Amino acid sequence: MTTTDPPPRLLSTHLLPLTAAPPPLLLLPAPPPPPKPKKPPLTHFLSLPLHHSPHLQPALDLLSSDIATHFPDLKIPKHAMRPAECVHLTLGVLSLPSRRKEGKDAGDEEMKTVFEHASAGARAEGEGGRAPAVEEKGEEEEEEEEEEAVQKAVRILEDLDLERMLRNAGKEDTQKQELEQKEAVTGGNDAAMEEDRENGGVPIDPVNEPMTGVEEEEALEPLRISLQGLKTMGSAKKASVLYISPVDHTSRLHRFAEAVRQHFVDAGFIVDEKRDLKLHATILNTVYARRKGRKGNGRPTQLDLRGVLEKWEERVFVEELAADRVVLCLMGAKEVDGVKGAGGYEEVAGRFITPSPSSALIMARKESELQVIK
């Protein structure tokens, strides 16, 4: 190498050898799934009211007194016991357009904790899991939409032939008894028995079967029930809801209630969840007495009611109570003099199951107050 030749260039020590592995790729977290569309809020409910019995409130007062006497350590929160004005059998819950905000806690939450076997409101529709775009509406348009939805629900109730539905609710047992008597006599091998089974010996839908002229002339026995037996929703050890079971010795109550509810399901006002309707009269709900502060977190109080159930599980509260009306009510019981629920629920519309001289007057009054156009 001559003096004029440049010095050899040295490889940088910072260069990675050719055999070195590439740096690891940084994996970014997957994007969160799109939020699920919210279900429309529950605004109304369909029910059989029971508060008209003069014996119900004294029976509830006696139960409260007995609990305080026999279970002094069981501290039931104030307002948790429901007044008689609020007692009813829920047939279904509805979600109708409404700008009414009051009663969200006392209405929506009540039905979530109590009415476990029914929910209302059509789910939001959309493509790819996205909620549909919400079009902004003026106040007048919202009022028209709300009034139209309520009117449709009211018309369904008005158009129901409740008397026929109750009459037919008792047919199934009678026809089954006749079929069993035939089987006992013939041994179940008679060709006529097969014909009865194939040609309507027991109708597929006896509740909605039209009446004959002879049946229309027969006196219809009113629907009367007894409120008997205490039960809790969920575990009795950590209960927040206590209710009384309705007892109907004619076996018509449940089939009648299912038939009424089904008409609202068919109209799209109540979602059919393919579960049996659970009729119950709630008398205690701690959702009305939420614990506040750091320890409570606003959650309903849980009570150990095992002793109460054991002692009064078969207690009879009211006998021969007339379940004679079907009503559509707004969610959220009204407060009177600081007592939650003392004012009951606001009725939008009501129908007597059997014709009554006062039924037309009640419907006329409701229509006048709410300006519901037929």
* In the predicted structure, residue 370 carries a pLDDT above the cut 50: no
Q: Let me know if residue 39 belongs to a domain.
A: no
Residue 226 near residue 292 (C-beta atoms within 8 A):
no
> Where are the alpha helices (H) located in the chain, listed in sequence order?
56-70, 109-114, 139-159, 162-169, 171-186, 191-198, 213-217, 253-266, 306-312, 359-370
How many other β-carbons are positioned within 10 Å of the β-carbon of residue 6?
A: 6
> At 289, which CATH number?
3.90.1140.10
Q: In this structure, is residue 257 part of a structural domain?
A: yes
338 by Cβ neighbours in 10 Å (0-12 / 13-18 / 19+) ranks as: exposed
Judge whether 108 lies within some domain: yes
27 lies in a domain? no
The answer as to whether 20 is a domain residue is: no
**Averaged pLDDT, 200-204:** 45
- Is 80 exceeded by the pLDDT of residue 34? yes
Helix axes 171-186, 162-169, angle to 10 degrees: 30
What is the three-class DSSP state of 108? helix
- Dihedral angle sign, alpha carbons of residues 245, 89, 219, 259: negative
Alpha carbon distance 160, 61 (integer Å):
36
**In terms of pTM, does the model score above 0.75?**
no
Residue 219 in any domain: the answer is yes
Task: Determine the average pLDDT of the residues in 322-351.
Answer: 89
Residues spanned by the domain of 88: 44-122+146-370
pLDDT of residue 35: 83
Better-predicted residue by pLDDT, 230 or 146: 230
Q: Let me know if residue 75 belongs to a domain.
A: yes
Higher pLDDT, residue 371 or 79: 79
Any idea which residue has 């409101």 for tokens? 121
Total of domains in the chain? 1
Q: Is residue 29 in a domain?
A: no
Is residue 327 predicted with pLDDT exceeding 50?
yes
186 has pLDDT over 90: no
